[in-house]
């Protein structure tokens, strides 16, 4: 059985771009590998490297779990669990922190970038953000993962994971498998409806630019009808001169399976109002089944908690022998 590991962060409001990109891309990756078992970790410990609203974070954990299950993840075959529900992640993360040279962490560009973006805490960014990569290494190495699909922005972190595993193996003997890392294939890029020059974001305070997975049909319709376009009235794809219309064409192509060029031809002279209306209805039709399944899970939190708890127990049963092996080799005290 090939083990595939993916970590998804429950921060911000999940939107259609997250679904078409990260979640459906995960399905494609798993389906391409015969006899695969996936570990889907909701990495809530990574989320708190930046200050979070506790109630909002808890709700986002449930929403992410509901989206994964609604998308068709078989939680009996695969392992779906919150990272914080398995204490082995923080345990192993500390072990890795202790053997990782500070120089390695100093090179991490994401830490530097996030520190610059963090305005309220710019002078006192938490140490957790600095040590993020060693916790990420624990997420990956605890399960002897064979394959870890990641976005290009995580390339440096996963390279560090390999360095940490090799260093541990060199110091204490062969313990951790060095997994194969696969850069996610290019996915559909969805841009902000109000600012089509930037990607749709789940963390923007302005909700008008994204189509959230929790939006009602009316909300989706209003957001798309108010999407920024241009002064022309011709529907055609031109990402530089017509970013708003081009973004809507990409969205409609993604949710209908049609080519954006064919859609542009159909609506070329129909006017922006008619085109936006058609895009809205296509998105509503596409998301409706997933949203209904999401609501079913979110309406029964005890059932959702049971699924996550069972996933965490399965994850712990796999990770804990690996932690005990590492602890033994490092000479730490073993209880019992």
Residues with catalytic roles? 114, 199, 202
Joined together, the tokens standing for residue 328 give: 């033994």
Cβ distance 249 to 234 under 8 Å? Answer: no
Tell me which H or E stretch contains 55: helix 54-70
Q: Note whether 146 and 33 are within 8 A (CB).
A: no
Asked if 74 contacts 37 with a C-beta cutoff of 8 angstroms, the reply is no
Contact 47, 100 (CB under 8 A): no
Q: How far apart (Å, rounded) are the C-alpha atoms in residues 19 and 8?
A: 12
Contact 5, 42 (CB under 8 A): no
The answer to whether residues 79 and 37 touch, using CB atoms and an 8 Å cutoff, is yes
CB contact burial 95-134 (16+ within 10 A = b; e otherwise)? bbbeebeeeebeebeebeebeeebeeeeeebeeebbbbbb
Backbone angles phi, psi at 212, to 5 degrees: -75, 150
Paired residues of 242 in beta bridges: 238
Contact by Cβ (8 Å): 322, 142: yes
Side-chain-side CA neighbours of residue 23 (13 Å): 22
The helix/strand/coil state of 104 is helix
Contact 57, 289 (CB under 8 A): no
């Amino acid at each position: 059985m090939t083990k595939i590991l993916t970590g998804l962060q429950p921060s911000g409001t999940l939107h259609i771009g997250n679904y078409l990109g990260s979640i459906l891309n995960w399905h494609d990756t798993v389906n391409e590998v015969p006899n695969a078992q996936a570990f889907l970790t909701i990495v809530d410990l990574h989320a708190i490297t930046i200050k979070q609203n506790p109630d909002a974070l808890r709700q986002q954990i449930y929403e992410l779990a509901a989206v994964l299950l609604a998308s068709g993840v078989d939680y009996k075959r695969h392992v779906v669990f919150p990272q914080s529900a398995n204490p082995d992640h923080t345990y192993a993360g500390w072990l890795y922190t202790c053997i990782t040279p500070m120089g390695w962490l100093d090179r991490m560009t994401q830490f530097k970038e996030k520190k610059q973006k963090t305005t309220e805490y710019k002078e006192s960014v938490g140490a957790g953000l600095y040590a993020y990569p060693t916790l990420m290494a624990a997420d990956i190495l605890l399960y002897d993962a064979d394959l870890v699909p990641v976005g290009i922005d995580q390339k440096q972190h996963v390279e560090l994971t390999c360095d940490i595993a090799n260093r541990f193996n060199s110091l204490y003997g062969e313990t951790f498998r060095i997994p194969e890392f696969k850069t996610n294939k290019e996915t559909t890029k969805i841009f902000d409806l109000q600012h089509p020059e930037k990607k749709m974001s789940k963390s923007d305070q302005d909700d008008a630019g994204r189509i959230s997975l929790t939006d009602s049909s009316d909300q989706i319709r209003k957001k798309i009808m108010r999407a920024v376009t241009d002064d022309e009235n011709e529907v055609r794809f031109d990402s530089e001169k017509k970013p708003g219309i081009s973004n809507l064409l990409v969205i409609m192509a993604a949710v209908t399976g049609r080519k954006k060029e064919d859609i542009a031809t159909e609506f070329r002279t129909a006017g922006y109002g008619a085109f936006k209306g058609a895009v809205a209805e296509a998105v509503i039709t596409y998301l409706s089944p997933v949203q209904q399944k999401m609501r079913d899970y979110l309406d029964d939190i005890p059932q959702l908690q049971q699924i996550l708890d069972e996933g965490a127990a399965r994850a712990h049963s796999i990770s804990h022998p690996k932690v005990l092996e590492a602890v033994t080799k490092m000479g730490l005290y073993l209880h019992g």
